[in-house]
């Protein structure tokens, strides 16, 4: 394949750029020439799920794919906070409060529809040409501006303290890590995202995605 769209089920502990590099290597070897490959929106290293990977002339349409709505299943840990909003950060205890399911439902109501959200500093957003996460890792102090996003749906899948599992359908640009942190602030418990899986991008579903092993990629 030298042109088109690939649906990839990204594994955990791999960057989106790592996925693209591996796909590029395989397709280039098959074609006997360098094949242009790109992604249409990063997934955090700890996250899994659907990535739309553009190949060849389809790379010109990457921007339109990036703007599509997305759906996620997420697991949130209450009672603690993370410096990155995920398991890769420094974890600290915040509170022993154990909110009821009714209290969580009330909190989630605040995050449906148009909301303002501050992206995490450990993100791929560029600041003066540099990725925010690189600046954060170097110890620079900064804060990303809030942005308006839209949460179409947000529901509880299960809840047994301290573990809350949610499913959400959101507009492009929404950070589920930030959503988890903000939910923890409203509940006054602290919270961070322990697992995240992207299940839908626009009309494309994770059910139609292929693992990297389907391309002979095992590393």
pLDDT, tens only, 138-150: 777 767 778 999 9
65 close to 40: Cβ distance less than 8 angstroms = yes
- C-alpha angle 159/69/86, rounded to 5°? 45
DSSP per position, 16-71? HHHHHHHHHHHHHHHHTS---EEESS---TT-EEEEEEEEGGGGGGHHHHHTS-EE
Q: Note whether 4-67+202-215 and 70-201 share their fold.
A: yes
Give the mean pLDDT of the chain.
93
CATH for 70-201, options being 3.20.20.80, 3.30.2350.10, 3.30.450.40, 3.30.565.10 = 3.30.2350.10
What residues are paired with 170 via a beta bridge? 70, 151
Structurally, at CATH architecture level, domain 4-67+202-215 sits in 2-Layer Sandwich (3.30)
Going by C-alpha positions, the residue among 204, 181, 208 that lies closest to residue 40 is: 204
Average pLDDT over residues 188-212: 98
Residue 24: per-residue pLDDT: 97
Residue 136: per-residue pLDDT: 65
Angle between helices 176-187 and 101-109 (to 10 degrees): 120
Q: Which residues are known catalytic residues? A: 44
Q: pTM of whole model > 0.75?
A: yes
Does pLDDT of 164 surpass 80? yes
How many C-beta atoms lie closer than 10 Å to residue 83's C-beta?
15
Domain extents for the chain?
Answer: 4-67+202-215, 70-201
Give per-residue pLDDT as tens, 78-98.
999 998 999 999 999 999 999
Does pLDDT of 9 surpass 80? yes
- Residue 152 phi/psi, 5-degree rounding, is -70, -40
């Amino acid at each position: 394949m030298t042109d088109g769209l690939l649906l990839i089920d990204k594994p955990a502990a791999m960057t989106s750029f790592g996925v693209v590099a591996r796909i590029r290597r395989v397709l280039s070897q098959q074609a006997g020439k360098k094949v242009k490959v790109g992604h249409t929106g990063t997934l955090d290293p700890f996250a899994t799920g659907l990535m739309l990977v553009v190949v060849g002339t389809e790379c010109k349409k990457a921007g339109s794919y990036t703007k599509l709505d997305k759906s996620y299943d997420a697991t949130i840990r209450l009672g603690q906070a993370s410096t990155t909003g995920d398991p890769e950060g420094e974890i600290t205890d915040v509170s022993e409060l154990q909110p009821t399911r009714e209290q969580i439902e009330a909190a989630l109501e605040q995050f449906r529809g148009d909301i303002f959200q501050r992206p995490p500093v450990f993100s791929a957003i560029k600041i003066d040409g540099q990725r925010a996460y690189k600046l954060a890792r170097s110890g620079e102090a900064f804060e990303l501006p809030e942005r308006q996003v839209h949460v179409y749906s947000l529901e509880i899948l299960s809840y047994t303290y301290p573990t809350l599992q949610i499913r959400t359908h959101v507009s492009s640009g929404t950070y589920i890590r930030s959503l988890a942190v903000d939910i923890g602030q409203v509940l006054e418990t602290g919270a961070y995202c322990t697992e995240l899986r992207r299940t839908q991008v626009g009309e494309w579903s994770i059910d139609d995605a292929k693992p990297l092993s389907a391309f002979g990629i095992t590393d």
